[in-house]
Amino acid sequence: MGAWWRKFNFLAKLSRLGLAALFVSISLFAGGIGAANAQSNAAENKDDLPSITGARVAGDSVRTRFVLDLDRQFDVAISGLADPYRLILDLPEVHFALPDEAGREARGLVDAWRYGLFAAGKSRIVMDVNEPVTIDKTFVLPAVDDQPARMVIDLVKTTRDDFLEFAKVSREKLRKGKVAPKGDRLTGAGAPRDRPVIVLDPGHGGIDTGAKGIGGTLEKAVVMDFSSILKRKLEQTGRYSVHLTRESDTFVPLADRVQFGHDLEADLFLSIHADSVTRGRKVVRGATVYTLSEKASDDLAGELAETANNSDIIAGVELHDEPAEVTDILIDLARRETRNFSVFFARTLVSELKSAVRLINNPHRSAGFRVLKAHDVPSVLVELGYLSNEHDEKLLVSDEWRERMATAMVESIDGFFRPRLAQDKSSASQ
C-alpha cells in the first residue's frame, strides 16, 4: 500500500493546477455582510450587547406585521432570497432574550422565523415567507415610559417578479456594503506539510442550531465540544496538523467548509454531526459513518443528507448552482481516487468503532452530502448518535463516552495514515 499515497497526491496536485475556479465561489454573504453599524468585535459580555427582549407576528395573509422589542435602537439591513422565499434581517451582534418557542408559530405571510449569531459581530433573523412579499413600511417606535423601543416591519403580498427584483437589488446593496469579519476560522496559508493535514468540521453553528434533543441539547454545541476533544487527542499524538472549520458558535456555509479543506490541501476531512430522526415508530440510535454517493444507499441516508444540505437555507445564505460536471480526465481520476480513499477510511473507522461504541445497523452508508464534495480530499460524515433518542442524547453529553469515542476515532485515523507515516519515517531515516 506504500504507493497509494504517492498516486493520490500526484493526481490531486495535478487537478489543482489552474482548476481552482471550478469550485463553488464563496459568496460575499458567506462570512456575513454587516448592517450599517455592525460591530467588528463580539462583545465579551451579554450586558454590553443590544438586546431583543420580545418578538411577535400579527396580522393575516393580506398584511402581516413583524415586531421586535429592543432595549436600544440599532440599524437593520433587510434583503430577500428566493426559492424558497426568505427575508433576511442582518443586525449587529445582539443578545436574543427570547423564549425557546419563539419563531415556531406560523401567521399570515410568515411560516416561521429563526434567529442567532451568524458571524463574529453579526446576528441574523431569517423569516420564511409562504409567498412573494414586499416591505410596505418599516419604522422604529422609541421607548416610552415602561414600554421598550419597537421595530416594526409590515409585509404585504407582491408578484414573484417584483420579489426577485427586490432580492436582486437588496443583495447588491449588501455586496457594496462593508464586509463583516468571517469569525475566527483559520486560513490555509502556511499549513505544515511534514504531517498529514486533518480538517474537522463541526456541523451547523450560529443561527443554524441543527437538531435539538429531547432534553434540549443542541446539535451545534454537541459537535463543537466533541470536535474540540478529537482535535486535542489528535494533536497529542504529534503526528497530525489539525484544523477546525469553526472554533466557536458561528455559522459557516457548506461551500465555505468544502473550500476550507481544499485550500489547506487536507489529507482527510471529517464532518461531525448528531442529527434527530425517527423511522416510523422506531427511534434510531447509534453512530453512523457516511460517504458521498450520487444515490443514497437508503431512505435514512437520503433524509439526513437533505437535512444537512439545508443548512444554507436555514441561515439565509444565497444558494448557488452546483458546478457543471467536469469531464477533464485529471479531475475525474482524482474524484474516483478520493471516493475510494473515503470508503477505505469509512470502513476502517466503522471497524474501530464497533469495539468502542454502539453503531446503527449497517453503519457505513452513503448519500449526496454537499459538505463531502471536494474532489481531492477524502471525506466522511460521522453521525455520533441521534439526539432524537434519549439514550444517545445522554451519551453525547457524557465526558466518558466522548473520550472513548474520540480515542476510537484517533485509532482509526492512525490506521488510515499508518502506511504514509511509516513511509515518511523511513524516508527521514535515510
Q: What is the pLDDT of residues 318-353, one digit of tens each?
A: 776 555 444 455 555 566 778 889 999 999 999 999
Comparing CA positions, the residue from 381, 417, 179, 394 lying closest to residue 271 is 381
Model pLDDT, residue 21: 30
Comparing CA positions, the residue from 270, 137, 287 lying closest to residue 200 is 270
**End position of a domain, from candidates 152, 176, 200:** 176
What is the mean pLDDT of the segment spanning 370-380? 90
Model pLDDT, residue 419: 83
Residues 377 and 291 in one domain: yes
What is the mean pLDDT of the segment spanning 360-381? 91
What is the mean pLDDT of the segment spanning 218-225? 96
pLDDT band at 194 (very low <50, low <70, confident <90, very high): confident
Output DSSP code: residue 23.
S
pLDDT at 191 over 70: no
Range in 11-25, 110-124, 160-174, 368-382 the model is least confident about: 11-25
Comparing CA positions, the residue from 79, 141, 75, 85 lying closest to residue 110 is 85
Q: Could you tell me which residues come within 8 angstroms of residue 340 by beta carbon, excluding any fewer than 6 positions away?
A: none
Output DSSP code: residue 147.
B
pLDDT at 302 over 70: yes
**Separation in Å, CA 53 to CA 185, 323, 334:** 30, 43, 52
What is the mean pLDDT of the segment spanning 69-98? 93
Question: Which grid coordinates are listed for 414?
Answer: 492512525
The helix/strand/coil state of 184 is coil
Question: Which grid coordinates are listed for 230?
Answer: 478529537
Residues 287 and 405 in one domain: yes
Model pLDDT, residue 37: 32
What is the mean pLDDT of the segment spanning 18-43? 32
Residue at 41 is within a domain = no
Q: What is the pLDDT of residues 253-273, one digit of tens each?
A: 999 999 999 999 999 999 999
Residues 16 and 61 in one domain: no
As a whole number of angstroms, the distance between CA 112 and CA 90 comes to 17
**Separation in Å, CA 418 to CA 236, 319, 422, 430:** 16, 39, 6, 19
Model pLDDT, residue 143: 86
Residue at 60 is within a domain = yes
Comparing CA positions, the residue from 207, 204, 239 lying closest to residue 225 is 204
Helices (H) and strands (E) in the chain, counts: 9, 17
Residues 22 and 110 in one domain: no
Q: Is the peptide bond before 142 cis (omega within 30 degrees of 0)?
A: no
Question: Which grid coordinates are listed for 391?
Answer: 439514550
What is the mean pLDDT of the segment spanning 302-306? 90
Residue at 38 is within a domain = no
Residues 256 and 401 in one domain: yes
Residues 244 and 315 in one domain: yes
Residues 254 and 363 in one domain: yes
- pTM, full prediction: 0.79
Torsional sign, CA 290, 291, 297, 301: positive
Residue at 374 is within a domain = yes
As a whole number of angstroms, the distance between CA 423 and CA 430 comes to 11
Residue at 106 is within a domain = yes
Q: Does residue 315 contact residue 253 with C-beta atoms inside 8 Å?
A: yes
**pLDDT above 90: percentage of residues in the chain:** 60
pLDDT at 179 over 50: no
pLDDT at 27 over 90: no
What are 366's strand-pairing partners? 291
Length of the chain: 430
What are 411's strand-pairing partners? none
Greater confidence (106 vs 33) lies with 106
Residues 290 and 411 in one domain: yes
Residues 170 and 187 in one domain: no
pLDDT at 141 over 50: yes
Please give the residue range of the domain that contains residue 170. 55-176
Residue at 208 is within a domain = yes
Comparing CA positions, the residue from 258, 219, 238, 73 lying closest to residue 150 is 73
Give the CATH number, domain containing residue 82: 2.60.40.3500
As a whole number of angstroms, the distance between CA 182 and CA 271 comes to 20
| 338: exposed, middle or buried (Cβ count in 10 Å: 0-12, 13-18, 19+) | buried
Output DSSP code: residue 224.
H
Q: Does residue 22 contact residue 170 with C-beta atoms inside 8 Å?
A: no
As a whole number of angstroms, the distance between CA 261 and CA 189 comes to 12
What is the mean pLDDT of the segment spanning 3-7? 50
The helix/strand/coil state of 292 is strand
Residue at 18 is within a domain = yes
Residues 16 and 89 in one domain: no
Residues 153 and 275 in one domain: no
**End position of a domain, from candidates 124, 146, 176:** 176
How many structural domains compose the chain? 2
**End position of a domain, from candidates 176, 209, 241:** 176
Q: Could you tell me which residues come within 8 angstroms of residue 196 by beta carbon, excluding any fewer than 6 positions away?
A: 239, 240, 241, 267, 268, 417, 420, 421
pLDDT band at 35 (very low <50, low <70, confident <90, very high): very low
What is the mean pLDDT of the segment spanning 409-429? 81
The per-residue pLDDT of the chain, averaged, comes to 82
Residues 115 and 254 in one domain: no
Residue at 42 is within a domain = no
As a whole number of angstroms, the distance between CA 400 and CA 387 comes to 17
| 26: exposed, middle or buried (Cβ count in 10 Å: 0-12, 13-18, 19+) | middle
